[in-house]
Amino acid sequence: MAKKLVAEQMVLTANRLADGRVIYLGADGWTIDLDEARIVRGAEEAEGAEEAGRKAVADRILVEPYLIEVVTVGGGVEPARLREKIRCAGPTTGHSRSAA
């Protein structure tokens, strides 16, 4: 297992089981839109989010949930790391540019 992420603001992400699409834990259920994601702060909320992820795995909604760091940009949030930025916005180039 990856080491536990410690960050000020986090979001739980995963890939949807049926089509592999990137999804995030929202305020109410799962969303493909990061803007609708539930912002997780502190260890307790992180554990709650991870528990929701484990349940969704058991319910066959998604696979491989994990927390990512997000930072506030303008009015919303965006992933802190490039890998997650690309997962969120799609390939940066080519025929499927921005197809996420």
2, 36, 56, 83 from 12: Cα distances, Å: 14, 12, 12, 15
Which residue, 44 or 98, has its beta carbon nearer to other proteins? Answer: 98
Which residue, 4 or 83, has its beta carbon nearer to other proteins? Answer: 83
Instruction: Give the closest residue to 61 by CA, choosing from 1, 13, 3, 2.
Output: 13
9, 84, 85 from 68: Cα distances, Å: 8, 8, 10
> Residue holding tokens 């499927």?
96
Smallest distance, Å, CB 72 to other proteins?
Answer: 17
Which of the residues 10 through 49 are near other proteins (CB under 8 A)? 15, 17-22
Smallest distance, Å, CB 64 to other proteins?
Answer: 7
Judged by CB under 8 A, does residue 63 bind other proteins?
Answer: yes
Judged by CB under 8 A, does residue 87 bind other proteins?
Answer: yes
Phi then psi for residue 69, to 5 deg, are -85, 135
Q: How many residues bind other proteins (CB under 8 A)?
A: 26
Is residue 11 within 8 Å of residue 70, measured between CB atoms? yes
Binding site for other proteins (CB under 8 A): 15, 17-22, 57, 60, 63-64, 80-83, 86-87, 90-96, 99-100
